[in-house]
Structure 1
Amino acid sequence: MPNRYEFQIEDNRGRLDKLLAEQINDLSRSKIKDLIQSQQVLVNGKSSKVSYHVQAGDHILVTVPALKALNVVPENIPLDIVYEDQDVIVVNKPQGMVVHPSAGHPDQTLVNALLYHTKDLASSPEGFRPGIVHRIDKDTSGLLMIAKNGPARISLERQLARKSNKRQYLAIVHGNFNEDSGLIDAPIGRDHYHRKKMAIVENGKNAVTHFTVLEQFKGYSLLSCQLETGRTHQIRVHLAYIGHPVAGDPLYGPHHTLQGQGQFLHAQTLGFTQPTTGEQLEFKVAVPPIFRKRLTELRETQ
């Protein structure tokens, strides 16, 4: 079924495409432009131009056609499996791998690899993310827990909601600190001006990150970050917000930064309660080679 968005405009609001980008968080500016040009956006019952300036009293109806179902297939992609039992798989995801298929990444994802590894993955309402209960960004490396059945999915999702599991990251960030540790409590939502970015926004979702300074170098620091919540890009947004963006971050960091394969952010430690036995499990994995190499170089410049 298509999605529909309806707006009654009370004042003059500028360009049609810009207004819709501000109002509909799920759609990019380019997608909105495509919808307007394909006459899926009606202003007062008629198709309009992208550059139309919205007026007070306008009625806008946006129809987003239903996406074609993604055909998720097993692919023989190597996996670094840290732990597996009848309920859960713990995987060490490499940098550069997307967690689940999407319109922009239909294959070569962690889910494609998992489907080749096992037929036992918890179903998902969307169909394209079996077993997935949480995600890390494409260019963030490290640990993910995967549910192999329905009860395990429910248990792991409840642990995430109750903040009872452990998710600790290592990050190389720009700048140095006067304090040894800190807490960032700032709500996160979609950036109003850049649709691919998240930002600190007044009406965003509650987001809390704890950090500890482990080492300091010339112009950079190594942090341990503990997630209390799990918002999209949370650590990257929060650290940029306090003036210490993650090194190598192409979205939230400066152009002059450490050279690597994306942001220097690694999900090092993951802890949770085993869904059936109640056993407390905790896993820890080393940073990838490029992360370790840059750390060594920073230490040598001291």
Structure 2
Amino acid sequence: MMIKMEKKGEWLVGNLGDAEAGMPAGQLLREQWKLPKKLVHLLFQHKDILLDGLSVGQHVITAAGQEIRLRVCQPEELGLAPVTHPLTILYEDDHLLVADKPAGILLHPTEPGHQETLDHWVAGHFQRTGIQAKVRHIHRLDQDTSGAVLYAKHALAAALLDERLRLRQIKRNYIAFVHGQLKQKQGTIDQPIGRDRHHPQRRRVSPHGETAITHFLVRQSWRDAALLECRLDTGRTHQIRVHLSYLGHPLIGDVLYGGRAEFGLKRQALHAERLRFLHPFGEQEIEVYADWPPELLELQQRLS
């Protein structure tokens, strides 16, 4: 478990406790804190780890109460041109940021000409607030999906969050309006997803695809539609859209996967409502909610 650390210029600074005492510094970083081995090697090689202000080697034994400094926040290029645009920030601290993505905008550039994505807006926020860091999103949302997106504000935070995502320790909950009534009130869709050979933009359930697991719970039902809460264990492209279409209940508005464009909705009815995870620095629980956009609130009212 990583200790709580604050950003001070190019350094992350914290104090070691009893749980971190009495072991070689290299072992603390690699085995207890699970830092990438390459990063640990570079920290010691460049003398970018200090204990009580002194550069130390990997075999120096740590002690409770020592101040530890890691130089991991060196100035970086943003990685793309910053765009000034209003950005709804759901959570932010020294290490990470959660932004609320509206539907209709790409999360990141997929072609050289894309100059207006959520990543560009986050770059604009970094520039305005003096953050000299590469824009790093931890997971993705489709263009017409709205909701919470997690970003790291330095390379170490990105490495730790990427690993937690791989270990399924970042819980992502979505709300989805689908066609029809489901027979089951809750369930798990464990079906691999691969590319559709006949349509370059589509994905499909395929025995040769990658593992994909979606849990769902029916929150509300109407005569010809239902509101589901979905939780992902994996993050395959179009995963919820493919899995719900496979069940025979495509998303309202998702014409790519068999849904119908009804109720004036110009997008698929999918919203990333909640993110929940333990903070990589200090392990406190972070739970972030993204309010439903007006068009989904209106859809719920029209169905009711």
TM-score (norm. length: structure 1): 0.71
Please report how far the alpha carbon of residue 259 of structure 1 lies from its aligned counterpart in structure 2 after TM superposition: 2.6
Q: 1:92 to 1:256 in 2, by over 3 A?
A: closer
**Matching of residue 82 in structure 1 with residue 87 in structure 2:** no
In 2 relative to 1, CA 195–217 (structure 1 residues): closer, same or farther, beyond 3 Å? same
Q: 1:258 to 1:206 in 2, by over 3 A?
A: farther
Q: What amino acid maps onto 1:78 in structure 2?
A: P
Displacement after TM superposition at 1:178 (Å): 2.0
Aligned positions of 1:99-178 closer than 5 A: 99-103=107-111, 106-119=114-127, 120=131, 123=134, 130-178=135-183
Per-residue CA deviation, residues 122-179 of structure 1 (Å, 9 max, x unaligned), is 54xxxxxx31111000110000110000111011111110001110000000000222
- Give the CA RMSD over aligned residues: 1.5
The SS at the match of 2:165 is: helix
Find the aligned partners of 1:200 and 1:252 in 2 and give their Cα distance.
12
102-111 or 284-293, larger mean C-alpha shift? 102-111
Equivalence map 1:33-44=2 (5 Å): none
Q: 2:99, 2:241 → 1: CA distance? A: 22
Match of 1:293 in 2: 298
Once the two structures are superposed, the pairs formed by residues 116-265 of structure 1 within 5 Å of their partners are 116-119=124-127, 120=131, 123=134, 130-255=135-260, 257-265=262-270
- Listed one character per residue, the Cα deviations across residues 161-207 of structure 1 (whole Å, up to 9, x for unaligned) are 00011100000000002221011000001111101101111110000
* One-letter amino acid matched to 1:229: T
User: How far is the alpha carbon of 1:72 from its aligned partner?
Assistant: 2.3
Please give the TM-score of this superposition, normalised by the length of structure 2.
Answer: 0.71
Structure 1 residues 101 and 256: CA distance shift in structure 2, 3 A: closer
Contact in 1 for aligned 2:108/2:119 (Cα 8 Å): yes
Alignment gaps of 5+ in structure 1: 1-70, 124-129
% identity of equivalent residues: 39
The question of whether the paired residues in 2 share the 8 Å contact of 1:121 and 1:131 is answered with: no
1:277 positional shift: 1.8
Paired residues in the alignment total 223
Q: Distance in 2 between matches of 1:234 and 1:259?
A: 24
User: Does structure 2 retain, via aligned residues, the 8 Å contact 1:79–1:91?
Assistant: yes
Deviation of residue 232 (structure 1)?
A: 0.4
Any idea what SS the aligned residue of 2:262 has? Answer: coil
* Corresponding position of 2:100: 92
Give, as a single letter, the amino acid of the residue that structure 2 aligns with 1:231. R
SS in 2 for 1:142: strand
> Matches of 2:272 and 2:166 in 1, distance apart?
19
Q: Contact 1:77–1:108 (CA<8 Å) still a contact in 2?
A: no
Q: Tell me which stretches of 4 or more aligned residues in structure 1 moved more than 3 Å.
A: 119-123, 254-258
SS in 2 for 1:248: coil
8 A Cα contact 1:272 1:280, kept in partner: yes
